[in-house]
Amino acid sequence: MQKDDKIYIAGHRGMVGGALKRCLEKLEYTNLLTRTSKELDLRSQAAVMEFFEQEKPAYVFLAAAKVGGIMANNTYRAEFLYDNLMIETNIIHAAYINGVKKLMFLGSSCIYPKLAPQPLKEEYLLSGFLEATNEPYAIAKITGIKLCEAYRDQYGCNFISAMPTNLYGIGDNYHPQNSHVLPALIRKFHEAKENDEAFVTVWGSGTPMREFLYADDLAEACIFLMKNYSEKQFVNIGTGEDLTIKDLAEMVRSTVGFEGEIVFDASKPDGTPRKLMDVSKLNTLGWKYHTTLKEGIKLAYEDFLSKQSVENMAN
């Protein structure tokens, strides 16, 4: 991947795509191709094909997706399945038709069975039942992996896949209902602090274990794999370290400076009991994360505060 090669980042306005764009610019890649969803509807096969025919990108990072937390996944089940299937199918097929040199598809750790052994090894894919709340999203992401494998098998395409763990960072979604656990906690603790509330309620029992990776670290790993990996099997990307939701909540509370109590609502779903990635394959290839969770939460909170000030100015 040369500095002047045309590189298409699908989903550049999302947290992952934004991190990829920042990282590529920092590394002085000069020919980055982007389109907003208003400019290009990735669910439209005709529009995607026309775009690829006109632009002829050499490399593609497929980071575009419809994403959300437990509530969003469980509420918008049809959209999460349909939209994600259409986006990945259209891009992967257009990349093949238009001779893209290499494509990276980004999935999610929710592709693994709910009760898979821990830590999650790449070979555990399709070895058991999925977590029910995010099954449509997981099935869409598994399909993306299998599409890349199939296009590689049948047409010789150099299409690879990477499975990130739970992500957070600059450009995250802090929506009260549709966000993931870490940004949701940042918002909850911040608002509780602003409103001088006595406690914050956190969904679930607080016992599930989760792993978190800073989005800019993910971007570095993706570029590393794009340059150094061309095998059929997908690669896990994560830290290889996890903590309980209770400990995460404590860490966010400390970062935000909220002094009230934390109350866990055990009537709400916990999701998968544990999701820890086995990242030995990635580490063996030569890449390891470097942003600690404490450091990353501080950076994410600063990003949240900057968004709040922009919103306040707009109002």
Predicted local distance difference test score (pLDDT) of residue 181: 87
Q: pLDDT band for position 252 (50/70/90)?
A: very high
Residue 315 has pLDDT above 80, yes or no: no
User: What is the Cβ-side half-sphere exposure of residue 113, based on CA atoms within 13 angstroms?
Assistant: 13
CA torsion through residues 286, 287, 288, 291, sign = positive
Give the homologous superfamily in CATH for domain 7-172+211-241+276-291: NAD(P)-binding Rossmann-like Domain (3.40.50.720)
Burial 135-154, CB ≥16 within 10 A → b, else e: bbbbbbbbbbbebbbebbee
User: How far is it, in rounded angstroms, from Cα 63 to Cα 19?
Assistant: 10
Q: Report the percent of the chain where pLDDT is more than 70.
A: 97
Predicted local distance difference test score (pLDDT) of residue 289: 97
User: How far is it, in rounded angstroms, from Cα 8 to Cα 24?
Assistant: 11
Domain ranges of the chain: 7-172+211-241+276-291
137 is catalytic: yes
Q: What angle do CA 300, 74, 82 make, to 5 degrees?
A: 95
Residues 67-123 have pLDDT tens digits of 877 777 778 899 999 999 999 999 999 999 999 999 999 999 889 998 899 999 999
User: How far is it, in rounded angstroms, from Cα 79 to Cα 221?
Assistant: 29
Read off the pLDDT of each residue in 134-144 and give the average, rounded to a whole number: 95
Contact between 47 and 41 under an 8 Å Cβ cutoff? The reply is yes
Read off the pLDDT of each residue in 60-66 and give the average, rounded to a whole number: 95
Residues 153-173 have pLDDT tens digits of 999 999 999 999 999 999 998
Cis peptide before 119 (omega within 30 of 0): yes
Closest CA to 254 of 166, 198, 193: 193
Read off the pLDDT of each residue in 8-37 and give the average, rounded to a whole number: 97
Binding site listing for substrate: 188, 203, 210, 270
Average pLDDT along the chain: 94
Active-site choice (112, 137, 214, 289) = 137
User: How far is it, in rounded angstroms, from Cα 31 to Cα 7?
Assistant: 6
Predicted local distance difference test score (pLDDT) of residue 179: 75
Binding site listing for NADP(+): 11-17, 106-109, 141, 164-167, 180
DSSP state of 207: -
Predicted local distance difference test score (pLDDT) of residue 269: 83
Residue where the block lists tokens 């290499």:
102
Read off the pLDDT of each residue in 30-52 and give the average, rounded to a whole number: 97
Predicted local distance difference test score (pLDDT) of residue 104: 98
Contact between 273 and 143 under an 8 Å Cβ cutoff? The reply is no
Residue 309 has pLDDT above 80, yes or no: no
Binding site listing: 11-17, 106-109, 141, 164-167, 180, 188, 203, 210, 270
Q: pLDDT band for position 54 (50/70/90)?
A: very high
Joined tokens for residue 121: 């090894």
